[in-house]
Amino acid sequence: MSVTSNEHHDKPLRVAVVVGSVREGRQGRAVADWFLGAAADDPGLDLDVIDLAEVDLPLVLPGWGGAPDPETAAVLAGVSPRLAAADAFVVVTPEYNHSFPASLKNFIDWHHAQWQAKPVGFVSYGGLGGGLRAVEQLRLVFAELHATTVRDSVSLHGPWSGLGADGTPRDADVCTGAAKGMLGQLAWWGRALRAARAERPYAG
């Protein structure tokens, strides 16, 4: 039996939240936990956290047409289906040297079809730029992967709206409002693209 567009619209939106930093002493997990709290009161979202500190993927990818070794295949079996099942993504990233972490690029590169025709939102943090330069570069990467990035992002600028010692943004009201605004755009695109993929598989 086919699923109607209304049924697609009413189903919770499955959002994979990718924590991009694996650096020792990172704030990425604290930022992600704050974001999860900001999103928790939306019953239309089903959030799944993928913390790259717990995903051990090698830097060396197999050659064209090749298969990963058994150990890597086991790691991918734990995360790739979760990306495939997601309707949308939120990437939590710091900014390293005007860009995003190598761990995040490596994770993105290990996948391809899982990103296609789905929206991506961003939560960034760090320094005066608040991670915005990392986000702008990620937009180029996801465009190449046929993903749609939403306009508004959440940016935690130190020291103003950056994180306090407990991992909570200093300007919690403004940052929570930004998170809800980004999630509103992500949900619109997520539901629209989910319905479109169900009607006609993406041929990118």
**What is the per-residue pLDDT for 135?**
98
**What is the per-residue pLDDT for 77?**
98
**What is the per-residue pLDDT for 9?**
66
pLDDT band at 6 (very low <50, low <70, confident <90, very high): low
Alpha-carbon Rg for the chain in angstroms: 17
Question: Treating both helix axes as pointing N-terminal to C-terminal, what angle do 132-144 and 102-109 enclose, rounded to 10 degrees?
Answer: 10
On whether the CB atoms of residues 53 and 32 are closer than 8 A, the answer is no
pLDDT band at 18 (very low <50, low <70, confident <90, very high): very high
**Would you kindly state where each structural domain of the chain is located, as residue ranges?**
5-198
**What is the per-residue pLDDT for 1?**
42
* For residues 160-187, average pLDDT: 90
3-state SS of 155-199 is EECCCCCCECCCCCECCHHHHHHHHHHHHHHHHHHHHHHHHHHHH
Does 5 have pLDDT greater than 60?
no
Does 107 have pLDDT greater than 50?
yes
Taking the domain 5-198, which CATH number applies?
3.40.50.360
On whether the CB atoms of residues 131 and 94 are closer than 8 A, the answer is yes
Does 112 have pLDDT greater than 70?
yes
Summarize pLDDT for 34-88 with one digit per residue, the tens: 999 999 999 999 999 999 999 999 999 999 889 999 999 999 999 999 999 999 9
Looking at the chain, the whole-number percentage of residues with pLDDT higher than 90 is 84
Q: Model's pTM, two decimal places?
A: 0.93
* For residues 95-109, average pLDDT: 97
Q: How many CA atoms lie within 13 A of 32 on its CB side?
A: 25
On whether the CB atoms of residues 22 and 54 are closer than 8 A, the answer is no
Instruction: Give the count of beta carbons closer than 10 Å to the beta carbon of residue 77.
Output: 9
**What is the per-residue pLDDT for 158?**
81
What does the mean pLDDT of the chain come to? 93
Alpha helices in 86-123 (DSSP H): 102-109
**What is the per-residue pLDDT for 2?**
46
**What is the per-residue pLDDT for 103?**
98
Summarize pLDDT for 125-167 with one digit per residue, the tens: 988 899 999 999 999 999 999 999 999 999 999 877 788 877 7
Q: How far out from the chain centre does Cα 74 lie?
A: 22
CA triplet 118, 121, 123: central angle to 5 degrees? Answer: 155
Q: Both tokens of residue 140?
A: 């180029």
- Residue 180 burial (10 A CB sphere; 0-12, 13-18, 19+): middle
